[in-house]
Structure 1
Amino acid sequence: MDRPDVTLDRMRSFIRVAERGSLSAVARELRVGQSTITRHLRELEEAVGVPLLSRTTRRVTLTDEGRRYHADCVQILRLVEQAGDEARAARGAAAGTIRISCSAALGVRQVSWLVFAFQDRHPGIGVDLSLTDERVDLVREGVDIALRLGPLTDSSMKLRPLGRSRRLMAASPAYLAARGRPSVPQDLAGHEGIRMTNIAGSDTLVLDGPDGERHAVPFGGRFRIDHGLAAREALIAGRGIAPAHRWLVDDVLADGRVEVILPGWEPPPVPLSLLIVPERAGIARVRLLVEFLAEHIAGVPGIEPPAR
């Protein structure tokens, strides 16, 4: 019997299984049955004549030959995508799908609207927007780019600083009427704080003061949450005081449902960065979105240019 051919579909299945370590996860991602992924892998191994994956009941790992072949496959598929991009560019129409990861609150409040505007400009480009506050592995999850707030440790990705997100101290008028308005940071000790459980050290609040010095004050409270949108709702409901990104509360500040307190005292701004998977950086549609976000992110309330 003749050996099967090496096809792009089989290579794509192999790459994603190698990166995710799970046939079932890749089947869900590619919207096919797991039997299809199993067949692709078997036929690809028959085509190249060596075992590429080692399978156990718990996980799938690459063989030595598989590691070398995986690196080559990634480059081959990147060239295939770029060739398609160049052919479409000759007709002036970018196409394909981009996968983006972004923190949930920022994605809902701001980034989704930027994506809408981008797709209006480039109707042939599809976008899969994944909203999560977890620091996902971009390659493993098949993500092209990620918008990240806070310090970064992943040096394997291409990094593009987008700016810094300014924060403020906020509370609702109802809360302030019931509990009083703090005039200096030390007054926070007698107030209810809305704290984020997914931020280390949230029991201490760091504020930059009008004197140019940085101050740390204890910050407690009965309500803790791990999601920015829920913290926003708690502020509106008068459950306490919280540090908030300006983009998170710009609308409720404007209509008076939330007020700025301790003017002149602000939590330090948070870096906002764009991470790009290096193998995806050269693809035309990814480049278009990266440049669009870099240009338009300055229009998001509270985002200031990166520190020089």
Structure 2
Amino acid sequence: MTLIKWRIIVLIEQLKKVTLVAQELGLKQPTVTFHMKSMEEEWGMPLFEMKTGRILLTDAGRRLHRYALKMLALQEEAAREMRLRGGSHKRLSLLADAACSSIMASFAAFALEPAGYGIEWLRIEEGSGMHADIRIRERQETADADWLPLPDADLRLAVSREWAQAAGIQAAQAALESGKPWIAPAAGTRLRSQILTWAAARGLDLEEGHAVPDAVMAASLAAAGLGVAVVPIFSDPRFAQAATCVLPDPGRMLLLPLNGIPPYRLELKLGAGVPSEARLAISSWLQSPPE
């Protein structure tokens, strides 16, 4: 069954005249008649019948009509998808080696969208960063001219809003001393080290209940009441917009200030193969004044 045959079935049901179907399709009437006979031969049963000067679908034709509608809908969906995301759509690979990789992926998508680029999010694997177009990592102690600093993020303690209200929790210190498990960043990350250093200076013994690779996952678990998590919160409106797309609903999560903890810092590097229009889009997005 070709697409034109599926369309003929649908149009016969609508118009009930071969001449009108032919006009709608821009075909000659004998061509439409040929396709109708071909379909009946293909399915081995009558699909059309003439009644009072009109062409109607038989019972078998009506059953096939349901599938014709589905086939045409699928064809339209495929055409729409290919127009939006077809083979001509340009993508850049992203490696976000940081404890908030989901937020960084969202940022990259927002920054590249005006230039018509999408992202391909790579997993953190040994050596994969060598091939990434865009790399984002936790800022290193030694400055590197190839790496661009990103806006700082404040660190907040994410807790379940429902739990905090029920337990009367209003401050981070009380939440951390409540016995709720700590949803910790992965070992080896600067964020984890930063949290542990801050907690030790205040005599807090964090009981690790979960260790997760990404702050968005940690925030989601905290919002569900499975523990408390320290998450980066960007005051820069551009990054805040990107973060809002992936963080849990604020109605489920309460963010408590962590007094005295340093901001979380990240940096970005663009590969040599990044096209100029994509490079300009990211640079412009970073350099444009926050609204």
TM (norm. structure 2) is 0.50
Residues 284 and 154 (structure 1 numbering): CA distance in 2 closer, same or farther, change over 3 Å?
A: same
Residues 98 and 133 (structure 1 numbering): CA distance in 2 closer, same or farther, change over 3 Å?
A: closer
Identity %: 17
Distance 1:231 1:107 in 2: 12
State which of 193, 197, 217 in structure 2 corresponds to 1:230: 217
* Structure 2 residue 283 is the aligned partner of structure 1 residue 288: no
Q: In the alignment, is the contact (CA less than 8 A) between 2:184 and 2:229 conserved in 1?
A: yes
* Structure 2 residue 133 is the aligned partner of structure 1 residue 144: yes
State which of 136, 146, 167 in structure 2 corresponds to 1:158: 146
Distance 2:106 2:134 in 1: 14
Distance 1:104 1:180 in 2: 33
Deviation at 1:286, TM superposition (A): 4.6
Q: In the alignment, is the contact (CA less than 8 A) between 2:112 and 2:281 conserved in 1?
A: yes
- The total of aligned residue pairs comes to 191
Match of 1:268, SS state, is coil
Deviations 1:139-170 (A, max 9, x none): 3xx22221223436795x71111221211112
Q: In the alignment, is the contact (CA less than 8 A) between 2:105 and 2:121 conserved in 1?
A: no
Q: In the alignment, is the contact (CA less than 8 A) between 1:205 and 1:218 conserved in 2?
A: no
- Tell me, which stretches of 5 or more residues in structure 1 are unaligned? 1-94, 208-213, 300-308
Residues 109 and 164 (structure 1 numbering): CA distance in 2 closer, same or farther, change over 3 Å?
A: closer
State which of 241, 253, 256 in structure 2 corresponds to 1:258: 253
Distance 2:179 2:198 in 1: 16
User: What code does the residue aligned with 1:285 have?
Assistant: E
Deviation at 1:180, TM superposition (A): 4.6
- Tell me, which stretches of 5 or more residues in structure 2 are unaligned? 1-88, 234-239
Name the structure 1 match of 2:265. 271
Distance 1:162 1:115 in 2: 15
Q: In the alignment, is the contact (CA less than 8 A) between 2:92 and 2:118 conserved in 1?
A: yes
Name the structure 2 match of 1:185. 173
Deviations 1:249-282 (A, max 9, x none): 7576874211133x462532111211133x447x
Distance 1:269 1:149 in 2: 11
Q: In the alignment, is the contact (CA less than 8 A) between 1:191 and 1:221 conserved in 2?
A: no
Match of 2:208, SS state, is coil
CA RMSD of the aligned region, Å? 4.1
Q: Which has the larger radius of gyration?
A: 2
Name the structure 1 match of 2:120. 129
User: What code does the residue aligned with 1:146 have?
Assistant: R
Q: In the alignment, is the contact (CA less than 8 A) between 1:103 and 1:131 conserved in 2?
A: no
Q: In the alignment, is the contact (CA less than 8 A) between 1:96 and 1:285 conserved in 2?
A: no
Name the structure 1 match of 2:41. none
Distance 2:128 2:154 in 1: 27
Name the structure 2 match of 1:196. 185
Deviation at 1:234, TM superposition (A): 0.8
Q: In the alignment, is the contact (CA less than 8 A) between 1:236 and 1:257 conserved in 2?
A: yes
Deviation at 1:291, TM superposition (A): 1.0
Q: In the alignment, is the contact (CA less than 8 A) between 1:145 and 1:275 conserved in 2?
A: yes
User: After the TM superposition, which parts of structure 1 deviate over 6 Å for at least 4 consecutive aligned residues?
Assistant: 251-254
Match of 2:176, SS state, is helix
